[in-house]
A and B are shown apart, each in its own frame.
Chain A
């Protein structure tokens, strides 16, 4: 794709001349509610999709979304109105603000209302970046190295009788937050993912690799292709195995699939109300209880190198897991599991009061690690007498929230390991397993590396996970899918 220029979209001066920063200020000026919050997000995306060694669809988009949260005090509490609009003209800002105010006046008092944070009353310090700088935008040019490399991979694969399928997406979101209590915060978030799926004719096999990236500069297509090739070679022998409990090696990507579900099940209020696997038997939560015999640590940290995410709460409405009442609240490192014990739950200010635990807000990254672990997945294969090696998991759904039982399938490569070597490809399985149960039974954990979840990779990309050995993973039935 060399020589491709990125077409500059000159913003018309007719309908949307105000900058995101100016929109933020204008909304606050227009507000007649008792309090007001505004979130302006400038978004740009670029994507490429391919199938059978050919690009299929593509696109670039740009847009701005403005969310106004109006708060109206009444005798019974604070009522909230939230209205989000995209494709808004400057002359429609007042209409947007009035709509949010009307919604607030129509609404009954909101659950969990509390005074908004201010610069001196708990909001994050600083503005989270150069407030005045124009938002950066991505475009198709972000793939200027990746795309030609992909083209080369298409050619090589075609010669080798392999078809490549997949998708690459890059987005930049600049969010500007302002409140009537004087808070101004900005967060710029780049997000990128690539999925690469290879299907070979001889041997007939399908396998997958995926990566998260901030800018595509670190995506090595040839290395990804080589990993796919290694697995296709493993499939020269195929082995049919029945359903049952198997010693199973879960690679970091599959661990991410399962740990994101665990993280989503860590809502404090749900646990407190007796609705989850982290609810105590009688009342309250399981915070303080041991979840794993290994001294595992599950944590989130907005400053995690390579996985950087918003260091303060930015929510567009009140809610159970994350709440606009907490907007601007600093997010620091939270250890959800420390030394194998459940130590924190995902909180709003309101649920923290309810559970008498620290306010540890929802954070957009997740790291699982065993301090001191050094083994790679290959090391763990070498140390396996007999077991299954999984590539990734798919179509995972909660079956029973109280045990956090999940069902799902293995996908794009299950392999039999014997005497420290991969011996061949195995049929796929449906599994029924709980991530809480897995942490109880895990027998070995390796070194943590960045890993993109196959199942959740389009919603939650910033994860670092270790490979895991589970002595008795429940493969409930054989799936004929290949």
Chain B
């Protein structure tokens, strides 16, 4: 994951120790009133503005030029990517901006070598010239390439259209409405004397992708996503503490905002309780980890470790490799037998969810860890072919029209126990432990062995009951030790789809959104550090 500003972690189940009823600031009727100017089409369609671009004409010009120049394969991808960022500090707009990127790329395989070029001028001449540049780059590169690039064949999808599941396109909502909402939230929190500062932000993105290749696939797709985050900060007595909402970023529209609003009322009390909490005694503890924290541990220790390009060394100089090498497929004991993990790009509202990937492959769901054993990898077409797979499992993604698709993460999710308990029941099973909620700091080594995470809030568990918050907690483990220490999974009622906007990989660096679903889960005897003592204080 990149170091870009923290994205909102997922919403966990209500903390069992909170007595105060969580309630939204606005009722349903008020929300409907707010959205009264926005139309709700019955079926989402791709915006006419995008469809009216000369998509096919440019694709034909580029692909024909690539064929004429001897390319074995060529694909043309034209994208419009819109982003909007609103950042408020203490209720005032600190920063805001919109980005709108329109451009296209041509990728070729020419005599077994990749060539890639990108441009922005939407004319047939420019499209053909970018295709020629891609072939030129392949020729230059061939001198230094000993790998022979081949792609796993895929069925052609003619004129496929896909649109993600959302009600209100966030780009249809006036900026003033959004900033007023965030300012209103901020002022309500600032009205509490225990809150010194409030940071509020809303990131929104909309992707429109047109793809065509020399095998005849043509796809047109559109999806939106947003990440609302509110953080309350206390600096009283020269001590910094903060508490952030844990509603995750999602592949939904503006209709998602009330979910975040529902968390606000309890933030000041949660913050005050954290500021007054005792500092943790380092040692080994049983941990009940809420989905709002566990998603990120899954992301780092399973998501990245099961990327096949990584495991084969193609990211070795940058993001790193993986301890989960292909020789362990079918035998590596990743975790305890209750551990089942899938990669998936089809789940509704998932951030990695899409109909067809950036190589024209229909997306799917596939196993990564089955009954605790490594059983699969995330792949793109090239790596699939290289490793003897007949098909790709659809994990290619490029973050802009100017970047080359690489294997990026599917929504990698841990299955709940179908008859599993509630989070409260998991806590009741713990005599001496900590309940971890919300994500904060994260770090893992370049083979995905050794990790360290902190969180938003940590609750001391004694005799099966939560007794109050702790401060200064970090947990640290080796991936396989950690997942093998998992002794119980929560049921489907604890399951939450968390995620991030900002997973980084590749050179040149690319950023991808991805979701991770998981239940609450119980881990035995995990090493817990005191972060103040680690700093030598």
* Chain B positions within 8 Å of A150 at CB level: 144
Distance from A234 Cβ to chain B, minimum over Cβ atoms (Å):
20
Q: Which of the segments A21-29, A305-313, A362-370, A405-413 contacts the partner chain?
A: A405-413
A-B CB contact pairs (8 Å), 27 listed: A7-B132, A10-B129, A16-B120, A45-B508, A59-B137, A60-B133, A63-B118, A87-B80, A165-B316, A169-B507, A195-B317, A274-B235, A275-B197, A282-B238, A395-B445, A395-B446, A396-B443, A399-B534, A407-B534, A430-B450, A430-B452, A437-B535, A476-B529, A477-B476, A480-B323, A481-B447, A482-B447
Cα(A126)–Cα(B27), bound, Å: 57
Contact with B along A186-213 (1 / 0, CB 8 A): 0000000001110100000010100000
A74-100 interface (Cβ within 8 A of B): 80-89, 99
The verdict on A63 contacting B116 (CB below 8 Å), with A86-B100, A195-B318 known, is no
Cα(A51)–Cα(B311), bound, Å: 12
Distance from A74 Cβ to chain B, minimum over Cβ atoms (Å):
12
A103 & B449 in contact (Cβ 8 Å cutoff): no
* Residue B180 interfacial (CB < 8 Å): yes
* Chain B positions within 8 Å of A112 at CB level: 94
A108 & B180 in contact (Cβ 8 Å cutoff): yes
B137 & A14 in contact (Cβ 8 Å cutoff): no
B-side interface residues toward A, CB under 8 Å?
3, 80, 87, 89, 92-103, 113-123, 125-126, 129, 132-133, 136-137, 139-141, 143-147, 174-176, 179-180, 183, 196-197, 233, 235, 238-240, 313-314, 316-318, 320, 323, 401-404, 406, 441-450, 452, 454, 472, 474, 476, 478, 507-509, 527, 529, 531-532, 534-537
A387-421 interface (Cβ within 8 A of B): 394-403, 405, 407-409, 411
Cα(A279)–Cα(B531), bound, Å: 19
A165 & B313 in contact (Cβ 8 Å cutoff): yes
A5 and chain B: residue at smallest CB distance: B136
Distance from B82 Cβ to chain A, minimum over Cβ atoms (Å):
9
B96, B117, B136, most chain A CB atoms within 10 A:
B96
* Residue A140 interfacial (CB < 8 Å): yes
Cα(A169)–Cα(B403), bound, Å: 13
The verdict on A397 contacting B450 (CB below 8 Å), with A9-B119, A87-B101, A320-B94 known, is no
The verdict on A397 contacting B100 (CB below 8 Å), with A108-B179, A140-B140, A405-B535 known, is no
Q: What is the interface of chain B mostly: helix, strand, loop, or mixed?
A: mixed
The verdict on A397 contacting B441 (CB below 8 Å), with A47-B508, A407-B452 known, is yes
The verdict on A432 contacting B529 (CB below 8 Å), with A47-B508, A87-B122 known, is yes
A82 & B454 in contact (Cβ 8 Å cutoff): no
* Chain A positions within 8 Å of B140 at CB level: 1, 4, 58, 140, 147
Cα(A430)–Cα(B196), bound, Å: 34
A408 and chain B: residue at smallest CB distance: B443
Chain A's interface size range is 35 or more
A12 & B102 in contact (Cβ 8 Å cutoff): no
B93 & A107 in contact (Cβ 8 Å cutoff): yes
B3 & A85 in contact (Cβ 8 Å cutoff): no
* Chain B positions within 8 Å of A430 at CB level: 443, 445, 450, 452, 476
Partner of B320, one of A54, A80, A397, A481: A481
Distance from A61 Cβ to chain B, minimum over Cβ atoms (Å):
4
A84, A107, A151, A274, most chain B CB atoms within 10 A:
A274
